[in-house]
Structure 1
Amino acid sequence: MNNLQPAMWDDNSRNLFGDAEEIGISTRRADGTLRPFVPIWVVSVDGTLYVRSYRGVDGAWYRHATRSPVGAIRAHGQQIDVAFAPAGDDVQDAIDAAYRAKYARYGDSYLRPMVATTAVAATLEIHPGN
């Protein structure tokens, strides 16, 4: 059994990435190189960063992140190595609320897919790399 706890965000990094309008997200290939960055919305709930694939589990970046859960994110000229982990069911309502609060100005055509069952099923936590 793995007893390792994920790394925690320091306040500056959590705010830098969590408050960003969107971040670039990338996953690592088998040879360690990064795939092209994809822009994605991000929310922070209780000190943890979360992302969702609006295409659900069929989204390419999501498939890569679940197969090899390491990569990088970038925003505001900063880049950091990260690890991805499935988000628990117990936090999904809070994540929905965070998406609604942060991105409401975009209206239902953009926000609704991010809180739909398809996207909820493809929610990942992002942790800073060790």
Structure 2
Amino acid sequence: MADWNGTDLDRVAAAEELDLASERANGMLRDPVTMWVVRSGDRLYVRSVKGTDGPWYRGTQSRHQGRSEAGGVRRDVTIQPADPGEYAGVDAAYREKYGRYTSIVEHVLTDRARASTLRLEPR
């Protein structure tokens, strides 16, 4: 696992949204999908409101690689499933960062959404 450098980590974590383009089986990038991104510790995470059935989530499963862009930082990333032990920290990060969107943030805090928690690692 590669680590984010401090400046890039801070910039991506501070961004309101992240664009993620996952790689198809043939290595070509899909169209980017805009989503919320949170930081827990020194790691970045995304989730699908639709859980593992969400189309963009399913798209990440062919190669577990893609390209992210947020806060002026564009990086090729490895997309790894988060361990369930990471969920509580990610939940707290979503509440803190997006809590002002009360009726929306609850959708990324369901068991269905938690099951789709992905960690973005630079490559």
Report TM bin, short chain: over 0.9
Shift of the alpha carbon at 1:30?
2.4
Find the residue that maps to 2:99 and give its secondary structure.
Answer: helix
RMSD (Å) for aligned C-alpha atoms: 1.0
Query: Which of 37, 57, 60 lines up with 1:65 in the alignment?
Result: 60
Shift of the alpha carbon at 1:19?
1.3
Check if 1:96 corresponds to 2:91: yes
The residue type equivalent to 1:37 in the other structure is: P
Unmatched segments (≥5 aa) in structure 2: none
Find the residue that maps to 2:100 and give its secondary structure.
Answer: helix
Higher alpha-carbon Rg: 1
Tell me the distance in 1 between the aligned counterparts of 2:68 and 2:98: 20
How many residue pairs match? The answer is 123
Tell me the distance in 1 between the aligned counterparts of 2:71 and 2:114: 27
What does residue 115 of structure 1 align with?
Answer: 109
Tell me the distance in 1 between the aligned counterparts of 2:16 and 2:71: 10
Unmatched segments (≥5 aa) in structure 1: 1-5
Q: Which runs of 4+ in 1 moved over 6 A?
A: none
Tell me the distance in 1 between the aligned counterparts of 2:25 and 2:45: 24
Shift of the alpha carbon at 1:29?
1.5
The structure-2 alpha-carbon separation of the partners of 1:9 and 1:77, relative to structure 1 and needing over 3 Å to count, comes to closer
TM-score in terms of structure 1 length: 0.90
